[in-house]
Copies of this chain bind each other. A is one copy, B any other.
Amino acid sequence: MPRKVTSTSTRDRIVEIARELFAEHGYTGTTIADIARGLGTTTAALYYHFDSKAEILDAILAEPMAAYADMAERATHGRLPPEEILGGYVDFVAETRHVLPLVTADPRIHTVLDERLPRRPQEMVDAIVATLAGPRPSRAALIRAHAAFAVVKEATVAALGSDDELSRADRREIVAAALRALRKG
């Protein structure tokens, strides 16, 4: 990874502070002044490091978005068994847990996502669910696929709580519950 020699610590601190504030108050609900206060400086200082508020958001989302696109691609075109698709989503949620609430929380962020991702998030979710449901799924099978997807998405967040890592036992329990939701009988 090419890394600038000059210290990027101030820039990184801005991203970190903005991430927390965005997650708590939303993107629109957080002002540049809020971020500057968290950093201990003024808004003008921020604009030395970033050209706009939206650019800070970009810096926060770039990596998670790439990870999301990767995960979705593997899930839909990797010919993986359901448990690996579901497990992969659990891992993705656990890895990006700090930005996930942000993304779902503010409608204005959808614009950014639509511009940067290969496909729109809703399409990617639909593709994953369709893969889980299998070819020519019945309506009931589609509902079960949505159910399984809901489990890996929400139960992972719940299990993480305020922790940073997910235990193996928790991961197993979540994937097992999702598989039961997916499969009848």
Contact = CB atoms under 8 A, between A and B. Distances in A.
Contact of A29 (B25, B108, B174): B108
Interface string A42-65: 000000000000000000000000
B154 A26 contact: no
Interface SS, A side: helix
Given A104-B104, A154-B154, A155-B147, A140 B25 contact: no
Interface string A145-156: 011111101110
Interface residues of A, number: 38
A101 B69 CA distance: 24
A170 B26 contact: no
Contact of A105 (B107, B153, B182): B107
A16 interface: no
A151 B150 CA distance: 6
A32 interface: no
A24 interface: yes
For this chain, the copies found in one complex come to: 2
Contacts of A28: 26, 28-29
Given A151-B147, A151-B181, A170-B143, A106 B158 contact: no
Contacts of A119: none
A143 B26 CA distance: 27
Interface of A: 24-26, 28-29, 104-108, 129, 139-140, 142-144, 146-151, 153-155, 158-159, 169-170, 173-174, 176-178, 180-182, 184
Given A26-B108, A28-B29, 18 more contacts: A24-B107, A25-B107, A25-B108, A26-B26, A29-B107, A29-B108, A104-B104, A105-B106, A142-B158, A143-B158, A143-B170, A143-B177, A146-B158, A147-B155, A148-B177, A150-B150, A177-B181, A177-B182
